[in-house]
Amino acid sequence: MKKYILFLIATLVIASFQTIKSQVTAYNANNGNDDATSSLVRPYAWDGKGVYNGGYDANPSSLATSEADRRAACIMQRTGNWRFVEPYLPYLSEAGTVHVEIIFRSKGGNPPARKDGSQTSAIIFTPEEADTKGVTTMRLTGTWSKEIDFLVPQMTSAGLERMVSIYLERQLFPEITPPEGARRVMATIALALNHMTEDARKTVEEKISAYF
């Protein structure tokens, strides 16, 4: 009986020690910040010190623009917290910034005015408006511009596929377009490919790769 009691006490002591240890570890991982949101900050946001509990551990300034765009969008999609993406903002493309703003609005947030004082609400289109503007612009010009990149994150999948299809019709010519030209087309529409459905992206990539 005494042995059983001693065994029970030892088990409880070990369990208590493990609980305390895990709490201390979690507290240290949060740099002493034991609030409810701190566990969300570390996995996704650069803290300037390189201290993380998993997730993205690279300073945003070291990232390519496309990767900064992707990570900022991922962070916003996961957390819905504007403060978490602020370290990335100086390194985002215009289209990447708009994409983050759109995600934030979809979660009920209202992005602050940009540093130049402009209000983002004045430059955000509805998906239908973005589709119309993107497809119409592409039909009229046949060229890919910064304005198109700006519209891409705001467009629907169907509108984006239609606009890309028009662009390919204007830029790729069987038995004429050289491999270098096809690669330039692929690089030009990289942002659009990232926003397309997997099936649509594969279709476009196969169409362009036929010219390599």
The domains of the chain are located at 1-33, 35-122, 127-209
**Average pLDDT of the residues in 105-130:** 70
Least confident of 34-38, 82-86, 91-95: 34-38
pLDDT at 107 > cutoff 60: yes
* Pick from 86, 38, 39, 88: nearest CA to 59: 88
pLDDT at position 112: 77
Long-range contacts for 156-159 (Cβ within 8 Å, ≥24 apart)?
A: 156/127, 156/128, 156/130, 156/131, 157/196, 157/197, 157/200, 158/131, 159/127, 159/130, 159/131, 159/132, 159/134, 159/135
pLDDT tens-place string over residues 160-198: 999 999 999 999 999 899 999 999 999 999 989 988 999
Q: Which residue's entry shows tokens 């900064």?
A: 68
- Specify the pTM: 0.53
